Amino acid sequence: MDIETVKGTIPVRPGEDFDREAVLRYLQSQGLVHGDEPLKVVQFPTGASNLTYLIQSGDFVAVLRRPPFGPLPPKAHDMKRESALLSRLYPVFHKVPRPYAFCEDESVIGGPFYVMEYRPGVTLDTRFPDDIEPTPALCRAISETVIDTLAELHQVDYRAAGLAEFGKPEGFLERQVRGWIDRYHRSKTDDIPGADRLMAWLADHIPASPEATVIHNDYKLNNMLLDPSDLTRVVAIVDWEMATIGDPLFDLAVTLSYWIEPDDPPMFRQMMPTVTQLPGFYTREAFIHRYALRTGRTVDHFGYYQVFADFKLAVILQQIYFRWKRGQTQDPRFAGFGDRVKALMEHAVERMERQGG
């Protein structure tokens, strides 16, 4: 194969390239590349956090992940942790790519990085591939695949897999609430009406969590690679940088914060365009019901989780917008993230008020 013809990739963006000869020498030192053919590199343009590249030397093809450029929040973008987590999870949950090597020598490309298996697949985001008709039956089946795969992940015995060290489940939700509130304050750029009241409500109404599980923490349809010949089969789940051991209902709520319905406000449908608006895709309510049936977990206090997930998404976008305003990234996609943050905060406040807040 020739990676320069792979759909969904672009030439490396200005300012985001790296020393290709240095990476080639590293790959050779790890026994991953045995020839001297030059390293080809293209970039995956989606995603707004870690930088992801498709690399090739001869017959060797893999994915390289590194942190974004510029100053980073403490403990964020931890390549060593992400690579190690995948190494433990891969043997018991094959829907993750196999990691090949982790490099902590920052002299190679200016930061730590890891290299992992490349699994070609279809990503569903704003539209289906041109050669696939999104029938209601297909959309329904894809919905069920998304739900059942999340339930499968949440059934992994993380202790038996050696993953206990990757999280602190006791007090997880409380730490998440405090942590995301703190992240918002540290990256704040504008005053948003209702934000302080929202944060106070979140801190005062934390429910008791169910038994902890492995959670992806950013599980959504466009972080899944689907089999091109059968879109109901998962090839891989990607972007594990925020995975941990924690509250599975929080993971579910994060997923649903991206799951847009056709009767959602036009502003939201424009802000987060996704195929889930098409006929046949599960509603959020049906999604929650199937998940509860598959896992046996109660969802009595799920409204709180949905408010918090909206707030978390707003803070993630705020951190990216903060970096853009400081000139740490030149990606033009991020210029309008300030308006998105405001809209998400307002939506979270409305949800809170429906919960009696």
The pair of structure tokens assigned to 132 is 């696939």
- Among 52-56, 76-80, 99-103, 180-184, the minimum mean pLDDT is found in 76-80
Residue percentage of the chain with pLDDT more than 90: 80
Determine how many CB atoms are found less than 10 A away from the CB of residue 96: 24
pLDDT tops 60 at residue 71: no
pLDDT tops 80 at residue 19: yes
Whether the model pTM is above 0.75: yes
pLDDT tops 70 at residue 120: yes
pLDDT tops 90 at residue 128: yes
What's the pLDDT at 327? 79
* pLDDT mean over 102-113: 94
> How far is Cα 315 from Cα 192, in angstroms, rounded to an integer?
12
- Angle CA(336)–CA(338)–CA(343) in degrees, nearest 5? 105
Q: Give the residue from 108, 129, 1 showing the smallest Cα distance to 54.
A: 1
Structural domains for the chain:
3-117 (3.30.200.20), 136-354 (3.90.1200.10)
pLDDT tops 70 at residue 47: no
Q: What is the radius of gyration, based on Cα positions, of the chain?
A: 20
Tell me which DSSP letter residue 160 carries: T
Sign of the CA dihedral running 97, 103, 104, 108 = negative
Quick check: 225 and 123 in contact, CB under 8 A?
A: yes
Confidence of residue 149 (pLDDT cuts 50, 70, 90): very high
> How far is Cα 175 from Cα 209, in angstroms, rounded to an integer?
12
Residue with the bigger pLDDT between 8 and 162: it is 162
What's the pLDDT at 285? 96
* pLDDT mean over 176-181: 96
* pLDDT mean over 224-231: 96
What's the pLDDT at 70? 64
What's the pLDDT at 220? 95
What's the pLDDT at 34? 93
